[in-house]
A and B are shown apart, each in its own frame.
Chain A
Amino acid sequence: MPTLAIDQVKVGYSNLIILDDLSVEIPEKKMTTIVGANGCGKSTLLKAIARILKTQKGAVYLDGKAIQLLSTKEVAKKMAILPQSSQVPTGLTVYELISYGRFPYQTGLGTLKVDDLKHINWAIEATGLNALKDRSVEALSGGQRQRVWIAMALAQDTEILILDEPTTYLDLAHQLDILLLLQKLNKEQKRTIVMVLHDLNHASRVSHNLIAMRNGAIIEEGTPKQVMTRSNLKAIFDIEATMSTCPFSNNPIYLSYTLN
Chain B
Amino acid sequence: MSEYVEQSLEVKKKGLASRPVIATIILIGGIIGLLLAIGISVSMGAAEIDVRTVWSAVFQYDSTLVPHQIIQETRLPRVIGAALVGASLAVSGSIMQGMTRNPLADPGLLGLNAGAAFMLAICFAFFPGLSYLYIILFAFVGAALGAGLVFGVGSLAKGGLTPMRLVLAGAAVTALLVALSEGIAIYYRINQDLAFWNAGGVSGAKWENIKIMSPWVILAILGAIVLSKSITLLSLGEEIAVGLGQKTGMIKLFGTLIILILAGSAVSVIGAVGFVGLVIPHITRFLVGYDYRWIIPCSAVLGGVLVVLADLAARMVNPPQETPIGALIAVIGVPFFLYLTRKGGQPL
Docked-complex contact A83 and B237, CB < 8 angstroms:
yes
Docked-complex contact A103 and B233, CB < 8 angstroms:
yes
Q: What 0/1 readout, one digit per residue, does chain A (178-220) give for beta carbons within 8 Å of chain B?
A: 0000000000000000000000000000000000000000000
Docked-complex contact B243 and A80, CB < 8 angstroms:
yes
Q: Which of B8, B237, B246 has the most CB of A within 10 A?
A: B8
| Residue ID in chain A nearest B18 by CB atoms | A134
**Whole-angstrom distance from the CB of B195 to the nearest CB of chain A?**
41
Known: A103-B233, A103-B246. 16 other contacts (CB 8 A): A47-B239, A75-B245, A76-B245, A81-B243, A86-B237, A91-B289, A100-B233, A100-B236, A100-B244, A101-B244, A104-B245, A110-B293, A117-B8, A118-B4, A125-B4, A153-B243
Is A250 an interface residue, CB under 8 A from the partner? no
Is B65 an interface residue, CB under 8 A from the partner? no
Contact of A109 with B8 at beta-carbon distance under 8 Å, contacts A80-B243, A81-B239, A118-B1 already known: no
> Which of the four size classes fits the interface of chain A?
35 or more
Chain B residues lying within 8 Å of A92, measured Cβ to Cβ, are 289-290
Is B240 an interface residue, CB under 8 A from the partner? yes
When chains A and B are docked, how far (Å) is the Cα of A15 from the Cα of B9?
A: 52
Docked-complex contact A52 and B239, CB < 8 angstroms:
yes
Interface residue ranges, A against B (CB under 8 Å): 47, 50-52, 71-77, 80-83, 86-87, 89-92, 95-97, 100-101, 103-104, 106, 109-110, 112, 114, 117-118, 120-122, 125, 134, 153, 156, 162
Interface residue ranges, B against A (CB under 8 Å): 1, 4-5, 7-9, 11-12, 15-16, 101, 225-226, 228-229, 232-233, 235-237, 239-240, 242-247, 285-286, 289-291, 293, 347-348
Docked-complex contact B229 and A96, CB < 8 angstroms:
no
Contact of A122 with B4 at beta-carbon distance under 8 Å, contacts A72-B245, A117-B11 already known: yes
The 5 tightest CB contacts between A and B, nearest first, are A76-B245, A117-B8, A81-B243, A73-B245, A83-B239
Chain B residues lying within 8 Å of A103, measured Cβ to Cβ, are 229, 233, 244-246
Chain B residues lying within 8 Å of A156, measured Cβ to Cβ, are 244
When chains A and B are docked, how far (Å) is the Cα of A97 from the Cα of B16?
A: 12
| Residue ID in chain A nearest B232 by CB atoms | A100
When chains A and B are docked, how far (Å) is the Cα of A121 from the Cα of B4?
A: 6
Docked-complex contact A109 and B293, CB < 8 angstroms:
yes
Docked-complex contact A72 and B247, CB < 8 angstroms:
yes
**Whole-angstrom distance from the CB of A222 to the nearest CB of chain B?**
28
When chains A and B are docked, how far (Å) is the Cα of A114 from the Cα of B16?
A: 13
Docked-complex contact B8 and A120, CB < 8 angstroms:
yes
10 contacts between A and B (CB under 8 A): A73-B245, A76-B244, A91-B285, A91-B286, A100-B244, A103-B245, A103-B246, A106-B229, A114-B8, A156-B244
**Whole-angstrom distance from the CB of A119 to the nearest CB of chain B?**
8
| Residue ID in chain A nearest B226 by CB atoms | A109
Docked-complex contact A122 and B243, CB < 8 angstroms:
no
Docked-complex contact B289 and A96, CB < 8 angstroms:
yes
Chain B residues lying within 8 Å of A134, measured Cβ to Cβ, are 15
When chains A and B are docked, how far (Å) is the Cα of A111 from the Cα of B158?
A: 41
Docked-complex contact A95 and B16, CB < 8 angstroms:
yes
| Residue ID in chain B nearest A77 by CB atoms | B245
Chain A residues lying within 8 Å of B245, measured Cβ to Cβ, are 71-77, 103-104
Docked-complex contact B228 and A109, CB < 8 angstroms:
yes
**Whole-angstrom distance from the CB of B284 to the nearest CB of chain A?**
11
- The listed residue (A72, A95, A96) touching B291 by CB distance below 8 A is A96
